[in-house]
Chains A and B, each alone.
Chain A
Amino acid sequence: MQDLGISILFKGVNFQRLLMGLWVTLRLALITIGLSGVFGLVFGLLMLSKRKIPKIFCRCWLEIVRFMPQLVLLYIVYFGFARLFGWDLDGETSAVIVFTFWGTAEMGDLIRGALTSIPRHQTESAAALGLTKGRIYLHVLIPQTVRRLLPQAINLSTRIIKTTALVKMINVTEVLKVGQQIIGQFYRQPDAAFWVYFVIFLLYFLVCWPFSLLARHLESHWA
């Protein structure tokens, strides 16, 4: 074998193309994670509200997200909304909508969990020191919530990054799609598929691993 499959990655701009694809993946994931964080905070607070209706609403939303495969949601928004409402959403917008819909519920549930896991006595002890409500949140409740939340939120973020691979099904040219295009061009190279997918695996690993290390570090540091 004079020409190894891996060498195709270094032919022309193939590797740059893969990196561009990875950038699409990351951009999508980062936008989703950011929006999920913001909306998730609202979602989490709504789940804790004393009113019944927002609570039930959030509960239903969370259940839908948990039971429905993300791919089905993507198809509903990308193909379904186009037919039903005549919205011509491009693939990336549809993906942001779907993943944010999913991320908001999951993040909201994590925030709810982190907030409720702080014992009532923490609030009472802070109140007994004569701190105002705002200061109790600022110095006592929020720092503890963040500490409990961050490792889990990071884990959710890596899940979001990985799940973005699905968007190739709705014609977004992210890293996996680029890889398939490259393989297509070199169909005469039988081991091309292996090497391209292996490099994609490495790229995902390099992106997600630091997050995972950070989560583990924070978990042991704040335990």
Chain B
Amino acid sequence: MSETILEVRDIHKSFDGPGVLRGVSLEIREGEVVVIVGPSGCGKSTLLRCINGLETIDSGEIRLRGEVISGRTRDLHLVRQKIGMVFQSYDLFPHMKVMDNLQLGPVRALGRPKAEVEREALEMLERVGLRDKAQALPRTLSGGQKQRVALVRAMMMHPEILLLDEITAALDPEMVSEVLNVVIDLASGGMTMAIVTHEMRFAEAVADRVLFLEEGVILEEGSPEQFFHEPKTERARRFLQSFTYAARRNRDGIQPKNNPGD
């Protein structure tokens, strides 16, 4: 069995009010893709934000390759260099060309030579079909292109693990698949990932394991086949049902679409 990359032990987190995370534990092994689903407000995003230290946890422990990374403040940036994260609202730096966006981390945080980083960035852009956009400014790109660049930017740091926080939630529907195909490609390349998403078809396609989070606790955990087709809990069943329409118009011969989440 491959090595454990990330270990989350019984973490709790609350913002003035009821707990957002109430005792979450999980383990992610090298090369594994874990998808976290659940209703909005269940704490999925907070969980990812706690892992890379954007939120502090109230109790519990987070380890990266065995090293405790929670509760740090001074060298937090060193921890984050090993954890890639991409957000919902494609946050490229608008004043920098695509290439400068990609170089910033490797050159300024890791101190790698610029020329070498540039070569690698071009290869990565090629891989996501955006080599010709290297000198473009972010505002000239479509949402889907921006998010692909954001993925490349995170990957340029060669992180131990990549955290994706609803990266297609702000995209126009026709751009979702171009981004998610890149994610699937990265997963096939052996990248370890924790993904929060509302795209159930994508979750099923990419996941090694699915976690169902509700009200700050993991209610259910299983393989995608098992979770999406035979969920164990009633809550998960109801959650999955919310992605289909119960009511159908009676039109002979026309099959209604099943999954508006796609």
A interface residues with partner B (beta carbon < 8 Å): 119, 121-122, 124-133, 135, 139-140, 143-144, 147, 222
B228 at the interface (CB under 8 A from A): no
Residue B46 is within 8 A (CB to CB) of chain A in the complex: no
CB distance from B191 to the nearest CB of A (A): 16
Q: Is the CB of B52 within 8 A of A128?
A: yes
**Are the C-beta atoms of A124 and B91 separated by less than 8 Å?**
yes
Mask: chain B, 47-84; 1 = CB below 8 Å from A; 0 = not: 00000101000000000000000000000011111111
Check if B93 sits within 8 Å of A127, measured CB to CB: no
Residues B150-166 near A (CB distance < 8 A): 150, 153-154, 157
B94 near A127: Cβ-Cβ < 8 Å? no
- Residues of the A chain whose Cβ atoms lie less than 8 Å from the Cβ of B92: 125
Contact yes or no, B77 A222, CB < 8 A? no
Interface contact B95-A130, CB-CB below 8 Å: no
The answer, among A121, A132, A135, for a CB contact under 8 Å with B89, is: A121
With a CB–CB cut-off of 8 A, which chain A residues contact B82?
130
Nearest-CB residue, chain B, relative to A140: B93
Q: Tell me the complex Cα distance, A132–B80, Å.
A: 10
- Option from A121, A127, A144 in Cβ contact (under 8 Å) with B95: A144
Asked whether B91 lies within 8 Å of A131 as measured between CB atoms, the reply is no
B109 smallest CB distance to A (angstroms): 4
Contact B91 A132 (CB under 8 A): no
Instruction: Name 10 A/B residue pairs within 8 A (Cβ), A-sorted.
Output: A121-B87, A124-B87, A125-B85, A126-B104, A129-B109, A130-B105, A131-B108, A131-B109, A135-B109, A143-B95
Closest residue on chain A to residue B53 by CB atoms: A127
A119-B91, A130-B81, A131-B104 given; 16 more Cβ-contact pairs under 8 Å:
A122-B91, A124-B87, A124-B91, A125-B87, A128-B52, A128-B154, A129-B105, A130-B79, A131-B77, A132-B77, A139-B108, A140-B93, A140-B104, A143-B95, A144-B94, A144-B95
Q: Which A residue sits closest to B54, measured CB to CB?
A: A124
Taken together as a complex, chains A and B put the C-alpha atoms of A138 and B148 apart, in Å, by 25
- Given the complex, which residues of B lie within 8 Å of A126, measured CB to CB? 93, 104
Within 8 A of A (CB), among B129-188: 150, 153-154, 157
User: Which of chain A's residues have a CB closer than 8 A to the CB of B87?
Assistant: 121, 124-125, 128
Whole-angstrom distance between the alpha carbons of A119 and B95 in the complex? 13
A119 to B89, CA, bound (A): 10
Residues of A contacting B81 with CB < 8 Å? 129-130
Contacts of A139 in B (CB 8 A): 93, 104, 108
Q: What chain B residues lie within 8 Å of A130 (beta carbons)? A: 77-82, 105, 109-110, 157
Beyond A130-B105, A131-B109, A135-B109, is A125–B93 a contact (Cβ under 8 Å)?
yes
Among B79, B105, B157, the one with the most A-chain Cβ atoms within 10 Å of its Cβ is B105
Given A127-B77, A128-B154, A130-B81, is A135 in contact with B95 using a C-beta cutoff of 8 Å?
A: no
Question: B157 is contacted by which of A127, A129, A135, A140 (Cβ under 8 Å)?
Answer: A129
Bound together, the chains give a CA A140 to CA B93 distance in angstroms of 7
Given contacts A135-B108, A135-B109, contact A129 B91 (CB under 8 A): no
For B94-111 the 0/1 string (1 means CB < 8 A from A) is 110000000011001110
How near does chain B come to A146, taking the closest CB pair, in angstroms?
9
Chain B residues with Cβ below 8 Å from A127 are 54, 77, 80
Give min CB distance, A129 to chain B, whole Å: 4
